[in-house]
Amino acid sequence: MFRVLILAGLGLVGWAGCDSCNGGGFDAGVPDTAAVGGTFSLAWTLLDQNTNRPVSCDKLDPNATVFIQASRPGTGGLESFACKSMQATSITRFDPGVYNFSYELHVAASGQTLTIATAPGQNGVAIVSAQNVVLSPITFEVDATGRLELMLRTGPAGNCTGGAGITGFAISLEHAGGPGDTGCAPVVFALSGGGTYTANDCASPAVTRCINASETLTVSSLPSGPYQIHVRGKKGPIDCWSNDDALRVPPQGRTLAQTLNLALASETPGCQ
């Protein structure tokens, strides 16, 4: 599936007429429509420049798009294909002629569209009326890693002594990309208040000290894509505060900065 963004100067050419019209009619042997324009097809892959391995579009952005510009002197057109389809054929019919093609990979970033990669263009492509031309496959090289900065918040009074009274935190991080991209995601959080926290056991995460609401938990680099985090704020052995938010780490070394609001298990004895 794809969306047509802009199409300028591209059209369909039609004609109608007759060689001899008698009695208000026309010669049925003469066609009243003409040939239409041509289409193109394109296939693409994504390559993680850190591992030199293929990467899925969803690892970057589930709504990532492949942006294509087809141009020739005096005219041209722009189209955008859904990246996850990995191949597409234009529904727009381009006027016959010789075109140059250029390619960009777009993702969403802070409410805007960001170009994160380009691929070598293809020049001198002949589009023929009523035919489809198959373009050479392209590869986008991307940085499929990002940075994570989190803060934990229970309320205005704070997380630790004098506030929520949490004595320690247990944290785990899981991949949430569907089949083939699940399971525990081992990471080491750097704590701005001092020290680190190793989150490498999702079944039985280690318990660290109370982390203040003003502290930042940072992972400097991890694969981009969807995750789910599990945070438990404890009073002694009891899980009294929790958060199970979904996270999406952006590509191209960009940072996801997010505050995780924790919910109190107010009905659990010992959590008041």
Residue listed under structure tokens 């529904």 = 91
What is the C-alpha separation between 59 and 53, in angstroms, rounded? Answer: 13
pLDDT band at 91 (very low <50, low <70, confident <90, very high): confident
For residues 167 and 236, is the Cβ–Cβ distance under 8 A? Answer: yes
What is the C-alpha separation between 238 and 234, in angstroms, rounded? Answer: 5
**Complete domains list, the chain, with CATH:** 2-142 (2.60.40.1120), 145-264 (2.60.40)
What is the C-alpha separation between 166 and 242, in angstroms, rounded? Answer: 11
State the average pLDDT over residues 2-23: 34
pLDDT score for 41 = 98
pLDDT score for 34 = 54
For the segment 131-190, what is each residue's pLDDT rounded down to a tens digit?
999 999 999 999 999 999 999 999 999 999 999 999 999 999 999 987 778 899 999 999
Residue that wins the pLDDT comparison between 17 and 211: 211
Gyration radius from the chain CA atoms: 28
For the segment 218-253, what is each residue's pLDDT rounded down to a tens digit?
999 999 999 999 999 999 999 999 999 999 999 999
2, amino acid identity: F
For residues 243 and 260, is the Cβ–Cβ distance under 8 A? Answer: yes
**From residue 15, how far is each of 12, 21, 31, 33, 143 by CA, in Å?**
10, 16, 8, 5, 51
SS3 assignment, position 83: helix
Closest among 117, 103, 147, 4 to 57, alpha carbons compared? 117
Whether 16 has a pLDDT exceeding 60, the answer reads no
State the average pLDDT over residues 30-59: 85
Those residues with Cβ within 8 angstroms of residue 13's Cβ, 6 or more apart along the chain or in another chain: 34, 35, 36, 37, 95
What is the C-alpha separation between 147 and 151, in angstroms, rounded? Answer: 14
